[in-house]
């Protein structure tokens, strides 16, 4: 994805808590660590992301759009005095990303920069009323939102 590494590096340098809620496969953390230049890291951690904010469906036996992982992440963040409306969830799927994050009170950002992975699902009843707070088509735009 264009600008992925520089944008992620800027986010790592910020004082933000970064997490992942994903329906990705078991090898995804390994691939992300490799891509970020940390091949020595295992599949339990992804360097730069808060380990208490990483939720993979293959480990949970639950998948998005189930809101459970989103609620668990918010429980952790509230303990850090971060309220749901102060959390931004970014995703490319209105049903599996925008809907559950919106449902638990997070701000949402739809990444529409990759037409192959963009999932609008406009006819699905759950996405009705769950409009993203932001829509971006370039990862650099994320920095304008959060920094």
List of residues 6+ apart from 26 with CB closer than 8 A: 43, 56, 58, 59
- From 91, 82, 98, 92, select the one nearest 16 (Cα to Cα): 82
- Tell me the C-alpha distance between 11 and 95, whole Å: 25
The yes-or-no verdict on residue 1 having pLDDT over 80 is no
Tell me the average pLDDT of the chain.
92
Q: What percent of the chain has pLDDT over 90?
A: 74
What per-residue confidence (pLDDT) applies to 86? 98
Residue reference for tokens 């329906």 = 23
Report the CATH superfamily, name and number, of domain 4-146: HAD superfamily/HAD-like (3.40.50.1000)
| Other Cβ atoms closer than 10 A to 26 | 10
Predicted confidence (pLDDT) per residue in 36-62, tens digit: 887 766 666 788 899 999 999 999 999
Provide the whole-model pTM.
0.91
């Amino acid at each position: 994805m264009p600008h992925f590494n520089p944008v992620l590096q800027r986010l790592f340098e910020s004082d933000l808590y970064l997490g992942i809620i994903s329906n990705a496969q078991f090898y995804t953390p390994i691939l992300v660590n490799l891509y970020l230049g940390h091949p020595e890291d295992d599949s339990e951690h992804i360097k730069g992301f808060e380990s208490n904010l990483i939720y993979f469906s293959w480990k949970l036996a639950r998948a998005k759009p189930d809101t459970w992982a989103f609620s668990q992440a918010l429980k952790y963040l509230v303990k850090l005095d971060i309220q749901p409306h102060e959390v931004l969830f970014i995703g490319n799927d209105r049903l599996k990303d925008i809907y559950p994050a919106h449902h638990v009170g997070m701000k949402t950002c739809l990444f529409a920069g990759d037409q192959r992975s963009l999932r609008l699902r406009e006819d699905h009843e759950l996405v009705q009323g769950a409009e993203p707070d932001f829509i971006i088509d370039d990862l650099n735009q994320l920095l304008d939102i959060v920094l």
